[in-house]
A and B are shown apart, each in its own frame.
Chain A
Amino acid sequence: MTDQSRPTDPALGPQSPSNGADEAIDGYSDGTAVKARSQWQMFRTKFFRHKLAMSSLLYLIIVTVAAFNAATIAPYAYDEINVAMASTGPTFEEWHLFGTDQLGRDYFSRVIYGTRTSLQVAAVVAVVSTVLGVVVGSIAGFYRGWADALLMRVTDIVIIFPLLAVLLVAAALFGQGRPIRIGIIAALFLWPSLARIVRGVFLSMREKEFVQAARACGARDLRIIVRHMLPNTVGPIVVNMSLVLGLAIILEATLAFLGLGVNPPTPALGRLIDEGRSAMQTQWWLVVMPGLALVSIVLAINFVGDGLRDALDPTQQES
């Protein structure tokens, strides 16, 4: 901050929020214009006001609860064969909302089970890649050294090769299998982007006064990283996590579609689409319905991510 800008700042500071907060005053019972609010409170109010993000979050919660209770929610088992109702389009009759395939298996139930697989994979990817990205990124940003070198080399590899090609080789090597396995394989290639973001924030924060103050107080490195620097990185980390979730769902579906995903007979949305492909000209629902489920989930995740980004961005004033 230069000296010239300093005098204007305090003058602007109290003024501009009070202008914008005029409407908000009504919301407070005691009528005070300025009320102390924690970061968390500010984030909460901003996020709750984001209608699209809130309704998307609601949708995601419903879908997740339904998917993980598939056995009770789904009207049929995913492999239940009913030849009498084979190849029926979407109908309310016997609750075949998404239609049935050539064997009479209920696609609504299969989509619910498939969604569970997709969500499991996505959750594993998000957790593993976030942990890896945060650990490597913060070590690289704080100490430089080997972690930095490792991060840069891995990033080189990730930048140079098409993600899907590398993922296909890895999936071929470690084999298809349970969702957790696919998730870990995908996470191994998705962490560098987050690590680079964390590294960037850490590099710029390392020399800031509050870090030096913490060090002067005798705080050890681990404490500085965990208590002082990471909380200031939460925004980018959370936003990246939502991006990775969406990407992971699409990647898992693509792998399943190419025949390298979760083992059959476990339904996965990508495989459902692949299975419906041969009959899609006469039975469009076999392809359209699982795809719609997939798109709506990814869309909702992206909307939530958008809302999070807006809410976590302290430079963005409430309107």
Chain B
Amino acid sequence: MLSYALRRLLITIPVVLLSTFLVFGAVTASGDPLQDLRQQPNITQERIDNVRETRGLDDPFPVQYWRWLEQVPTNGFGEYMISPRQILPDLQRVIGNTLQLVIAAEVFAFITAVALGVASAKRQYSIFDYTTTTISFVGFAMPTFWFALLLQVTVVQIFELTGVRILPLANLSSANPGTGLAWLWDRALHLVLPVITLSIVSIAAYSRYMRASMLEVINSDYVRTARAKGLSEGVITRRHAMRNALIPTITVAALSFGGLLSGAIVVEVVFGLDGMGQYFLNQLQRRDPYPIVAWLSVVAVVVMVFNLVADLLYGYLDPRIRYD
């Protein structure tokens, strides 16, 4: 088990190295990282040449990449291209914010999807089943950003009709969020719309899985046995059927963590959240390869850990599976 986990983590290293190398090349080739600097007033050609010199921008990109890689173990992810700011503190801040959003969305999506999946499997071909199926099909077909915009319009329309400001439309906090519980409440309110938006696709996907695996389990022999020995329907669902039906859903949920990060990019743009997606887009627009490569490395490790957790969970939940 441990060696399996270690091996999986070790595989990540060459993958991360190769892909950061490729992305570094792509970003360097795609534009001028000094464009921001050139646009600023009061910047002399001397200063630009200076940056070009110290950063070695005239070297071929493998050399540049190596120079960046060399300093990672000692210097964290280093500084931005044109300012002496460290990348790491910024990255930590946006990762923290995004994790709040993504984890809340994942938990919300998982609970909702399990409830929906179980309920529609128990009443297969009922009106409820058809309704959830239709909704999940629509949820699947809906671009995240469009749904986010619809939510924003709805909230504003409610405000104009009733004068009640039910939810904040953008940003992570109010101008004056307070401290302690007040801060927490403020943050939670700000996250409601983004979390709903981000989880809608996941709910659609997970509930389909949950329904399918629940249907499979409900018709199995051991559930019939449980019913035959006179257990109540609730106990059969909760203790016997649902536990086994959860296994594939949990795996899917953990494996789609990378997908949630994709969704987070869009959600953060629409709701103006100071998270990883917004950060990534900003740096991409500035054509600064250093923060982008740092971003990708961190994301790769996070996603890899989640995939590993999915694998190990799978083995734990289903004892028939053995890793060697």
Question: Nearest CB to that of B160 among chain A residues?
Answer: A281
User: From residue 1 to 28 of chain B, which have CB atoms closer than 8 A to chain A?
Assistant: 11-12, 15-16, 18-19, 23, 26-27
Q: Does B304 contact A (CB under 8 A)?
A: yes
Contacts of A173 in B (CB 8 A): 26-27, 29-30
Residue with the greatest number of chain B CB neighbours at <10 A, chosen from A172, A270, A299, A302: A172
A270 to B145, CA, bound (A): 9
Please classify how large the interface on chain B is, using the bins under 10, 10 to 19, 20 to 34, 35 or more: 35 or more
Interface contact A162-B262, CB-CB below 8 Å: yes
Chain A residues with CB under 8 Å of chain B are: 153, 156-157, 159-166, 168-170, 172-175, 246, 250, 253-254, 257-258, 270, 273, 277, 280-281, 284, 287-288, 291, 294-295, 298-299, 302-303
- The closest CB in chain B to the CB of A163 belongs to B262
Chain A residues contacting B11 (CB-CB under 8 Å) are 156
Distance between Cα atoms of A223 and B149 in the complex (Å): 52
Residues of B within 8 A of A270 (CB): 143, 145
Kindly list chain B residues whose C-beta atoms are within 8 Å of the C-beta of A246.
Answer: 140-141
Could you say which residues of chain B place their CB within 8 Å of the CB of A168?
265, 280-281, 284
Q: Supply 15 further A-B pairs (C-beta < 8 A) apart from A153-B18, A168-B280, A258-B269.
A: A157-B15, A159-B307, A160-B258, A161-B303, A162-B303, A168-B284, A172-B26, A254-B145, A257-B143, A270-B145, A280-B149, A287-B150, A298-B140, A298-B142, A299-B137
Q: Does B31 contact A (CB under 8 A)?
A: yes
A160 touching B140, Cβ below 8 Å:
no
Take A246-B141, A287-B146 as given contacts and tell me if A157 and B18 are in contact as well, using a CB distance cutoff of 8 Å.
yes
The reply to whether the CB of B153 lies closer than 8 angstroms to some CB of chain A is yes
B150 near A288 with CB under 8 A, answer yes
What 7 A-B pairs are tightest by C-beta distance, nearest first? A164-B262, A298-B141, A173-B30, A162-B262, A291-B146, A162-B261, A299-B141
Chain A residues with Cβ under 8 A from B29's Cβ? 173
Beta-carbon contact of A254 and B138 below 8 Å: no
Interchain CB contact under 8 A, B149 and A299: no
| Any A CB within 8 A of the CB of B34 | no
Q: Is B296 an interface position by the 8 A CB rule?
A: yes
Which of A159, A164, A288 lies in contact with B303, CB distance below 8 A?
A: A159
Minimum distance in angstroms from A261 CB to a CB of chain B: 12
Cβ-closest chain B residue relative to A303: B137
Taking the complex as formed, is B199 at the interface, i.e. its CB lies under 8 A from any CB of chain A?
no
Are the C-beta atoms of A162 and B258 separated by less than 8 Å?
yes
Contact sample, A vs B, 24 pairs, CB 8 Å cutoff: A160-B15, A160-B300, A161-B19, A161-B299, A163-B258, A164-B266, A165-B295, A166-B23, A169-B23, A172-B27, A172-B31, A173-B30, A250-B143, A253-B143, A254-B144, A257-B266, A258-B269, A273-B149, A280-B149, A281-B156, A291-B149, A294-B146, A295-B146, A302-B141
In the complex, are the beta carbons of B30 and A161 less than 8 A apart?
Answer: no
- Give the residues in chain B near A166, CB-CB below 8 Å: 23
